[in-house]
Amino acid sequence: MPFNIVALPGDGIGPEILSGTLELLEQISKKYQFEYQLKSYDFGGAAIDSQGVPLPDDTLEACKNADAILLGAVGGPQWTNPNNRPEQGLLALRKSLGLFANIRPTKVTDGTSHFSPIKEERVKGTDLIIVRELTSGLYFGQPRHLDDLSALDSLTYTKDEIQRIAKVAFELALNRKKKLTSVDKENVLASSKLWRQTIDEVSLEYPEVEVNHLLVDACSMHLITRPTDFDVIVTENLFGDILSDEASTIPGSLGLSPSASFSLEGPRLYEPIHGSAPDIANQNIANPFGMVLSLAMCLRESFNFEDAASELEQLVYQLIKDGKTTPDLNGQYTTSDIFNELKKNYE
């Protein structure tokens, strides 16, 4: 039976990095002999323009019935209504599909450490994963309030929500270096006190995994000064959002980092962690590697094609090592050039 894939090009550079990735997927499917059905839907700002809302009903229904979802990016300065922003569509999609776990790897491969803005000797060999809780915390807490004189956001977590994301992180750590860092603000926040307590309780189920607790401010410093110390990091929604963007600069560009979001059951969503970069949209200079590596995650996690995923990742890493990169990595290649280089390997 063919895989059912939903494509959400979105806004800014999203359409151009996703279209090339889908062309690549077609060639990969021929080499590895699998079939898929693909349909694109408006999402984010594009959906506001076409249907008045960032997550139309037909888009949501298609996503619910998909085997995997590939997302480009959402957002842009032209959508300013605070009650109808592109990003609200993404939050609603995560909530509707129960995509509570966000997996964001950061890796500095051989021969690429010179791209990092940090000293090479510090970043060489970095290979970490940030596991971000995605459907609770400040982004979803109630009550919320905003007027001209005051504002309120609620940071709420339940024990069940923390246990759920903790087990995802422990399972990942169990199959890697058996080292887990839990990040919180336990010295100030009640939610973090519950977070740390729950992590310690879940750790009893994983005695092989070494657990270390860090306050978020200390973690943000250690990510830059000694990133190779980390293996798996687990944290709440807001901290994960900030720390994963910080970590993504370690290899040299925000455009290198993929991600996967998933629930206990149902489709998984794959997207690069960068934004829509409207300032460089339609200029053919956007870095597509994060989107391509997100496809590799999809091949591995949703379709169980480990060989195809590994090959695609190695092709990307080799291009970076060879200096065949877009301007954000000091290269002279266009977005189209990168896709053409990748597609050569499947002809």
Give the residue numbers marked as catalytic: 139, 185, 217, 241, 245
Angle (nearest 5°) at CA 126 between 122 and 127: 170
- Using CA atoms, how far apart are residues 135 and 98, in angstroms rounded to an integer? 7
**Cα three-residue angle 121-125-129, rounded to 5 degrees:** 125
**Other beta carbons less than 10 A from residue 39's beta carbon:** 10
Please say whether the beta carbons of 312 and 295 come within 8 A. yes
Structure-block tokens of residue 5: 């894939």
